[in-house]
Amino acid sequence: MSKIKEIKEEIAKVVVGQDKMIDALLIGLLCDGHILIEGVPGLAKTTTVNALASSLGLNFKRAQFTPDLLPADIIGAEIYDPKNNSFKIKKGPIFTNLLLADEINRAPAKVQSALLEVMQEKQVTLGDETFKLDPPFFVMATQNPVEQEGVYQLPEAQLDRFMIKIIVGYNTKEEELEIARRISNGNFETIEAVINKEDLFAIKQEIKNIHVDSQIEEYMIELVNATRNPSQYGLKDIEEYIQFGASPRVSIDIFKAVKAMAYLRGKEFVTPLDVAYIIKEIMRHRIVLTYEAEAEGITSDEIIQKVLEAVAIP
């Protein structure tokens, strides 16, 4: 647990506040899950990811997504070598431990489809060869919700590959004052690597040993099922707003994430509070809403809140 505290202390050198985002990034890292971070510009999304990578001592690469990006710009390509009359492999930025996909929703469909194999199988196919990526590997993607031009909506199949979607809000007035002071005075310390791959694998093993009671497991499955069959839980009023409920990957990811959540809180067992703290981040991007919901301004977070209120807590 002390290693987690050290990571947070290193990130705090350059990031003020945003505790929920930092927790989500750590959960994704510890559970081998990919993370989507959504927020307006200037909320330290990229800075936080950079700080996390620096504190981990892992390989880190950043790719700025643009509408003219090609799959080869991300995964690499076969390049003809005229001197040897042969093709050689040039690996792209995907060959790393942590990939920051900045403004991922700016890339067209071909790039998104190229990412799917990498995110799910953690391997890359170039020509006739398939390359396994060295663990750990996870994608931290950011997207800006306010821009309209040159932006492509991520397909549902890809959204489902993200374990967590975190929505970043503005800092408090006190935090913003501290940020302005630090930047104007140049008071930012250098981030040091406080953890290595061996430490990371050891922490993951400790998380596997976190106890989850069978009643908590059943509770998590009930929450997922309630998004698919809301009328069975007295939620007939939200049924017209849900086109497709949470996918099976949600169940798998909740089971993994709540253990990591309990670990971050220094506990050896999972409570319903751990489930409530992280469930919106795991579910919100995997519930497909109907046109009626969009027309009435109903969000997936509101649907999840209704589900949490309806399903009995063990």
Q: Which pLDDT tens digit goes with each residue over 69-118? A: 888 888 888 787 787 777 778 888 888 888 888 888 888 888 888 887 78
Q: How many C-beta atoms surround the C-beta of residue 8 within 10 A?
A: 18
Q: Predicted confidence band at 254 (pLDDT cuts at 50, 70, 90)?
A: very high
Residues 33 and 88 in one domain: yes
Q: What is the CATH number of the domain that holds 217?
A: 1.10.8.80
Give the pLDDT confidence score for residue 260 in this predicted structure.
92
Give the pLDDT confidence score for residue 165 in this predicted structure.
92
Specify if 204 maps to a domain.
no
Q: Is the pLDDT of residue 149 over 70?
A: no
Q: Which pLDDT tens digit goes with each residue over 196-240? A: 888 888 888 899 899 999 999 999 999 999 999 998 888 888 889
Residues 213 and 186 in one domain: no
Q: Which pLDDT tens digit goes with each residue over 162-173? A: 999 988 877 778
Residue whose token pair is 């791959």: 197
Residues 263 and 233 in one domain: yes
Stretch 141-170: mean pLDDT: 78
Give the pLDDT confidence score for residue 24 in this predicted structure.
87
Q: Is the pLDDT of residue 1 over 60?
A: no
Q: Are 198 and 204 in contact (CB under 8 A)?
A: no
**Per-residue tokens: 6:** 């050290």
Boundary residue ending a domain (198, 230, 254): 198
Give the pLDDT confidence score for residue 225 in this predicted structure.
93
Q: What is the mean pLDDT of the chain?
A: 85
Q: In this predicted model, which residue has the larger pLDDT, 314 or 229?
A: 229
Boundary residue ending a domain (155, 174, 198): 198
Q: Which residues pair with 129 in a beta bridge?
A: 126
Q: Are 253 and 138 in contact (CB under 8 A)?
A: no
Q: Is the pLDDT of residue 258 over 90?
A: yes
Return the amino acid letter for 89.
I
Residues 150 and 26 in one domain: yes
The whole-angstrom separation of Cα 74 and Cα 1 is: 35
Give the pLDDT confidence score for residue 219 in this predicted structure.
93
Q: For the whole model, what pTM was predicted? A: 0.85
From 42-46, 190-194, 213-217, 262-266, the region with the lowest mean pLDDT: 42-46
Q: What is the CATH number of the domain that holds 27?
A: 3.40.50.300
Specify if 119 maps to a domain.
yes
Residues 160 and 306 in one domain: no
Q: Are 27 and 138 in contact (CB under 8 A)?
A: no
CB burial readout 120-148, b (16+ within 10 A) else e: eeeebebeeeebebeebbbbbbbbbeeee
**Domain that residue 61 falls in:** 2-198
The number of distinct structural domains making up the chain is 2
Residues 214 and 111 in one domain: no
In the chain, % of residues over pLDDT 90: 19
Residues 43 and 128 in one domain: yes
